[in-house]
Structure formats: C-alpha cells, structure tokens
Structure 1
C-alpha cells in the first residue's frame, strides 16, 4: 500500500486544497493529511477546528474515491511526520513560480534528511491555482465573498468566526 502525506496548515481548507487532495488520491492508496500546528503563523482557526474542517471535506472525497484519508495533526519536522505515518511520498501543491522556489529548497533539505521519501508536486486545476488561505482570510475579514474559494461549510465557519462577537 502506497501512503502519501499532504502537509499544510489548512487555515482554512480551500477548494485548491480539495483539488490537490482529489488528485493525490489517484496516486496513493492512503493519503494522510498532515495538519501543521505551526503556532508561528497565528491561525484563525485552532488545531481542532482545522482538523474537523479537513475531516469534513475529506469525507465526501473518500465516498467518491473509495480510498483512505487520515487527518493527522503534527508539530515535528515534515520528514519525521512522513516517517511516523509510513509515507513514501510527500505531496505538495504548487500555485506559482514563487511556490516552486521555496518548495525546491524544502525538497533539497528533506532529501538530505531522508532520501527514501520522494516529493511530488501537483498543480491544482487552473481555476483553483490562485486560491491561498491567507488571501481567503483577508477577503473574508474585509467582508468579501469567498464562496467561490471554499466549500459552503468552510464559508459558514469563516462567517461565524469573523462576525462581530464571533468565535
């Protein structure tokens, strides 16, 4: 069984993430979604909320693909997380050339740490490539409509969190 690890902060999970998850499921038998704790980023949603959102969105995908998706919070090195979950491949999503430069460095470092774990880059569908969680949050904070960037459940969670007196 081939296990892949798709890591990220998922704050919140977007349609771009969902697209990468669907594409990754065609490559692996078991996909672990590594939800990074990453306190330095100051997430809008806490870890439990992000894990719950990812699990909710992945439930529909597993019904369609029949594959196995596991959501796994982590705070250690990515390569150690990959070892912990038995992943032979790390899945990374790319949006633009700027993403590639950072990811290229990351792959080089990870190869030094463990050259048995491959990294695969996937690009979301063209209409999803510009979606970034950071921008989704900024648009939502300023009262903009993010419904074309996230699922209805995530859109509702954003509205609830950002409403005056919310979460």
Structure 2
C-alpha cells in the first residue's frame, strides 16, 4: 500500500478522549508509546491502555504541536527506534512513524490554564494495511461521537465548553480571531 497522509483535527476533553479511546481499544489491539526524542540509553515504555496515558486531556504547553504525542502501535509488533548522529556530536534517537509503519499517531491537547482547550490530532503517514485499518476505526468513532465544526471535530464535552465561552484553539498565544467559533 502506498504512503498516504491522513489526519483528523479535533477538540476533546478528558471524558471525550476516554469515550473515544475505550471504543477504539475494544475494536483494535494496540499499545501506546510516547513519541519524540530519547537519549541513546533510554528505554521505550509501553502503555497498554488509555488509562495509563499521562495527563490525559491536559495541555501543559498551550500549543498543540508541543503537547505529548503517542503512537498507537499494533500489538505484537516491537517499537523501532531511529537513531541519528548529530553534527555537534552525540546521537539522538526518535520514536516516530518513520520506523513504525503499523501505527497511528495521536496528539491529545486538552485544557490549558483555566478556560482554554487546545486541539488534538489523530493521524498516520503510513500506508501499511494495519495503520489504514486502524485509522479508519478512529475516523469512524470520531464521526460517531464528535460534531463537525469547520475543519475540526468537537467532542460533546468540548462543545459544552465552547458554548460556555471557552477558547478552543491550537495555540493559546495566538490571537482569538484564530479560535474555533460556531459563526
């Protein structure tokens, strides 16, 4: 299968994520690993359930691109780590989809400093049969549980917050004109 990038942008509270992930976990066998750079001797921790995801529904950075992301990796497949020697010396190792084709990436986002909800994302750049099937399950469950608002899907809890006047945004520091609105 060829490589095809697919993604879903969404706003979700902790409860929205729990509802979504519990449904997806019931349909597909996978585990979670945190993406990003590792020290050369650092080990990758597998997380068997969304219940083990650290700070689910909380954004510590206020910026979607800086919040933790996880790979949902097909159970039975080991995570591959990609190491890159640095020009300045040393080696950085990465957990990402480049080496882990049987995966779907999720970025959680969540509540930030009071009344701001940071966007999340579900996506894959892999063209493997498993990642395509897993992404399709995520997509089906998002469409079933979330409401479409412009280019985002909004969970029930997130929609309630939007209607209460919360900011729904990808970056808390960006002007409010870029926030999601229903108008």
TM-score, structure 2 length as denominator?
0.28
Structure ranking higher in strand proportion = 2
Q: Which has the larger radius of gyration?
A: 2
Structure ranking higher in helix proportion = 1
TM-score, structure 1 length as denominator?
0.30
